[in-house]
Structure 1
Amino acid sequence: MNTAPTADDLRNKLVDAIVKTRPLPTRIEAAMRTVRRDQHVPGIDLETTYSDRAISIKDNPNGPLPLSLASVPSVVAMMLDQLDAQPGHNVLEVGAGTGYNAALLSELVGSTGHVTTVDIDPGVALYARQALNRTGYGHVTVIERDGLLGAEENGPYDRIIAAVGLWDIPPAWWTQLKDGGRLVLPLRWRGQTRSAALTRHGNTLTSDSLELCGFVPIIGQDGEHTTRLAGDTVRLHHDHDQHIDPTLLDPAFDGQATEAWSATEVASTEPFDGMWLHTTATDDRVCRIEVTTEALDAGIRRPAIPIRTPALVDGNSAAYMIFDKTKATPGHALLGAAGYGPHGADLAHQLTQYINTWGTHRDLAPSLTIHHSVSPGPMPAGGHAIRKNDTLMILTLPGSTPNGS
């Protein structure tokens, strides 16, 4: 007689799959086998709850993205690994969600540590509070508050982790993170999001890990803009320091694309977002292109990933990454670029050069240093600067040359 798998069965099966792909420290693996995700997302069937996917818990009436999500479990595990919370640590979480991540953090810091989680939405904060009470983590502090303000009353913190996308690091977090403490956050620049693990040294944060991720953006930061083109079938997502004039660029998409092809192939399961990260360390023209279903169906746009593909934009011209499986060896795709506008061919060629540079050094990742705006410090040799409102980011790719401001 067949019996349905229990929550414990499914939870252990999920953790088994996660550690097979990414081995975890024993303590993090044990926490993920202990905390019951199904008790933090009630009303969802067990198979869905213990799949490696995000689960929406509150819709956003003002936008397409949910207001709050239960994050993808493998991403939760990755970020906990980056954070390295230890017994006795005082931890701040920004973005309470379902309370699941706070429960995991509580397991990691133990009875001698403490976890504070904050959320700007009263309904989400209440949900997290009730779930934590229900699951035996009533000692976790839940605060309804703008996460950009942190929680000074319970600081300073050994660790701060954000479960929402940040475009910049808020000033309050600098004062609330201990010197030598670690900050892990989904940091957004040039259209991409990376989970950055950073250690504070005075007025400087230095990275030792940059992992691909995606999170709902925090409320209250406006450094990212969206420019709509070609009858809103093409959207460019870019930073406020990237000056994109739609009146100049829109006509470019009326013409035919000019294609250029690199010498770089990727396997069908191999990610190529590393090229995006590489290119942001050398070129200020990088942004994200998104095309609508209408544009795809008409066959007039075909970026590598319709909703998030790296692009170069310069004045009245643009180019974005494409791929073609018919031009590559079996099981692979050849990467290239499609250019639009008077200088589209040049931009497409430049993009293929970036692709080839990454293709030759796929394991080479830039380091990230973030300076508090009050004390930016000296510019490192070879560093590429990106100025935010409150911080100065320096990306350093070994062997690169300065090209920032």
Structure 2
Amino acid sequence: MPQEGFDQYRRAYARQIARLAEIRDGRIEQAFATVPRETFLPPPPWTVISMGVATQTSEIADIYANVLVAIDRERGINNGEPALHAAWMDTVGPQAGETVIHVGAGTGYYTAILALLVQPNGHVEAFEYEADLAAQAQRNLGAYASVTVHAASAFGRVLPKADVVYVNAGVLAPDAEWLRALEPGGRLIFPWQPHKGWGPTLLVTRRGGGFSVQSLMRVGFISCSGTTERISVSRLPTEADLEAVRSVWIRSDRSPDSSAVAVYDDVWFSSEKPGD
């Protein structure tokens, strides 16, 4: 197929994703229209997954839709739903010149889109725990000079300062280093899955009085590799608690009090807003 045909598919796809995600930032549509999704996928035939139904296809048009595409079905690793990522990106609002930490970069597709959103002069630090995926991401992102790929976990390590921490793996609790990495006004978005499986997306913003939390859409992500066994919990949240969360604290900065709705080794969630 001539390059013009691929470009047409991407433009139509980007318009569809922008509409489904109801995005406000037109740069996101442009980024989805620019990055070739097929570059970040295994060779065809591809397995596309929509509404839980998997279908094999070699048609390029089929991957330019709001579908998951399998990266490794045995491990449950997919190139995630585009409209969900577009909505997340619109929420955290990466801006030109900012630094993004991408946790769970996979083979790099959404890393590439984030990289476009922080240009010019921005940078993305991409972490991928699975060594084979990190190697693929390194190859796939070779043309993106503003991206650094780390074949390592982003848990339990000091991270560079960042304006956005974008987490693509379900966690029982955020790592305290993700919070410490945030610049003033910095945003962290991640899938909170305290009971495994589905859970709310949390948007954390670093403010003068602490880290505010906003609960967004419910999502289901594969668990962050190599982390859950290192996290213990002294109080698990109920479903009602999930909706009550208004802030998150690093325990070395502030001990849990009567407002606590979930308490972990290094962080805890509160029903009070920062400064209350």
Q: Same fold (TM over 0.5)?
A: yes
Instruction: State the distance in 2 between where 1:89 and 1:282 align.
Output: 33
Matching residue's letter, 2:89: L
What's the CA shift string for 1:26-46, capped at 9, x where partnerless?
111111111111221142331
Structure 2 counterpart of 1:216:
222
Q: Compute the TM-score of the two structures, normalised by the length of structure 2.
A: 0.80
Instruction: State the distance in 1 between where 2:106 and 2:256 align.
Output: 39
Matching residue's letter, 1:35: V
Pick the structure with greater CA Rg.
1
Q: Post-superposition shift, 1:215?
A: 1.0
What's the CA shift string for 1:276-334, capped at 9, x where partnerless?
x9x62359xxxxxxxxxxxxxxxxxxxxxxxxxxxxxxxxxxxxxxxxxxxxxxxxxxx
Structure 2 counterpart of 1:388:
264
Structure 2 counterpart of 1:168:
173
Alignment of 1:62-101 (within 5 A): 65-66=75-76, 68-101=77-110
Structure 1 counterpart of 2:162:
157
Task: Please state whether the residue corresponding to 1:148 is helix, strand or coil.
Answer: coil
Instruction: State the distance in 2 between where 1:196 and 1:282 align.
Output: 13
Check whether the contact 2:171–2:194 (CA below 8 A) recurs between aligned residues.
Answer: no
Structure 2 counterpart of 1:146:
153
Matching residue's letter, 2:203: A
Residue 115 (structure 1) aligned with residue 124 (structure 2): yes
Alignment of 1:2-401 (within 5 A): 6-24=5-23, 25-43=25-43, 44=46, 45=58, 46-60=60-74, 65-66=75-76, 68-133=77-142, 136-149=143-156, 152=159, 155-191=160-196, 192-201=198-207, 204-222=210-228, 280-282=239-241, 366-376=244-254, 383=259, 385-395=261-271
Equivalenced residues, count: 255
Instruction: State the distance in 2 between where 1:11 and 1:21 align.
Output: 15
Identity %: 24
Matching residue's letter, 1:390: D
Check whether the contact 2:235–2:261 (CA below 8 A) recurs between aligned residues.
Answer: no
Matching residue's letter, 2:177: A
Instruction: State the distance in 1 between where 2:166 and 2:209 align.
Output: 18
In structure 1, list runs of 5 or more residues that go unmatched.
226-238, 244-276, 284-364, 398-405
RMSD: 3.1
Check whether the contact 2:95–2:117 (CA below 8 A) recurs between aligned residues.
Answer: yes
Instruction: State the distance in 2 between where 1:218 and 1:366 align.
Output: 24
Check 1:217–1:282 CA distance in 2 against 1; reply closer, same or farther (3 A cut): closer
In structure 2, list runs of 5 or more residues that go unmatched.
47-57
Q: Post-superposition shift, 1:142?
A: 0.5
Check whether the contact 2:99–2:118 (CA below 8 A) recurs between aligned residues.
Answer: yes
Instruction: State the distance in 2 between where 1:184 and 1:217 align.
Output: 15
Instruction: State the distance in 1 between where 2:209 and 2:106 align.
Output: 30
Matching residue's letter, 1:69: N
Instruction: State the distance in 2 between where 1:108 and 1:392 align.
Output: 32
Instruction: State the distance in 1 between where 2:163 and 2:120 align.
Output: 15
Check whether the contact 1:165–1:218 (CA below 8 A) recurs between aligned residues.
Answer: yes
What's the CA shift string for 1:45-80, capped at 9, x where partnerless?
3133212122221355xxxx42x3211111111111
Instruction: State the distance in 1 between where 2:150 and 2:88 align.
Output: 22
Check whether the contact 1:94–1:150 (CA below 8 A) recurs between aligned residues.
Answer: no
Check whether the contact 2:88–2:189 (CA below 8 A) recurs between aligned residues.
Answer: yes
Task: Please state whether the residue corresponding to 1:181 is helix, strand or coil.
Answer: strand
Check whether the contact 1:121–1:144 (CA below 8 A) recurs between aligned residues.
Answer: yes
